[in-house]
Structure 1
């Protein structure tokens, strides 16, 4: 199953590079550097497309070997001992990177939400009656404020 290993390694490399970009994004959010943040968000789009392509490759390969209904962990478990060791290593690395990306992404989201609440409070103190960015607006993707880039 060398091909599956190669797909996992390629995915891990992609997520490693994406993780670096997410840390830069966090730094730009902390520094309120909206221009650099916009550029970073644009770069993220390319990563998302590459991730989708690799996911499609992985799915196609798994279908090709007749394990369409199996999870990646189940496929690794069913592999021979030699393949199992290298696939487990690649799988663990990819899992670690994805977990780290999720953590930094959640942190970015939290910082942005805190700042938006501060903006709402400041707007209320200035006599503005409605929330600038209410939870209902977020759910409906109907933002009233253009204080931050819509790309975030």
Structure 2
């Protein structure tokens, strides 16, 4: 379990660096770099899924299926392994930092999208963009949908 947590922490540290690069690219409006980073993120997601599958198999083998890592650590099955707790805490901190930077990126992108929508309205071009006006999505009616530069 310690090895899996270490592998996860290392993976998330690298991913966190990529998230900071993404944040810088969003701030600088560097679409090419942002597009490149999004492609790299897909590789990380696949690696994360692989590590997650390893962890799930180990948890099943331990007879702890359905339990969280925190619950497993708190059980008598682990016997207060200090290194395991340390790796768990390290991974938790990294994941919290990833969530924080991801939230900042999301907020910044939403603000920029709002500014683009406002500019389109002022230019009278709002009606010439794709929009979310399906019956399923009444809450977002009128919001423009921006497409990838690859489209």
TM-score computed with the length of structure 2 as normaliser = 0.84
Aligned residue in 2 for 1:80: 79
Uncovered stretches (5+) of structure 1, i.e. residues with no partner = none
- Structure 1 residue 88: deviation in Å? 0.8
Judging changes above 3 Å, is the alpha-carbon distance between structure 1 residues 138 and 64 closer, same or farther for their aligned structure 2 residues? farther
Matched, 1:52 2:37: no
Unaligned stretches of 5+ residues in structure 2: none
Alpha carbons 2:2, 2:87 under 8 Å: kept: yes
CA distance in 1: counterparts of 2:14 and 2:51, whole angstroms: 14
Give the length in aligned residue pairs: 142
Q: Higher relative CO (CA 8 A, sep ≥ 6), structure 1 or 2?
A: 1
Distance 1:17 1:80, change over 3 A: same
CA spacing shift, 1:71–1:145, aligned 2, 3 Å = closer
What's the CA shift for 1:127? 1.3
The offset of 1:70, in angstroms, is: 2.0
- Measured at CA, do residues 26 and 129 of structure 1 come closer, stay the same or move farther in structure 2, by a change above 3 Å? closer
Counterpart CA distance in 2 for 1:74 and 1:33 is: 43
Query: SS of 1:105's equivalent?
Result: helix
Distance in 2, Cα, partners of 1:123 & 1:44: 30
48-57 or 67-76, larger mean C-alpha shift:
67-76
Cα RMSD (Å)? 2.5
Deviates most, 41-50 or 68-77: 68-77
TM-score (norm 1): 0.84
**Structure 2 equivalent of residue 21 of structure 1:** 18
Question: What SS class does the counterpart of residue 43 from structure 2 fall into?
Answer: helix
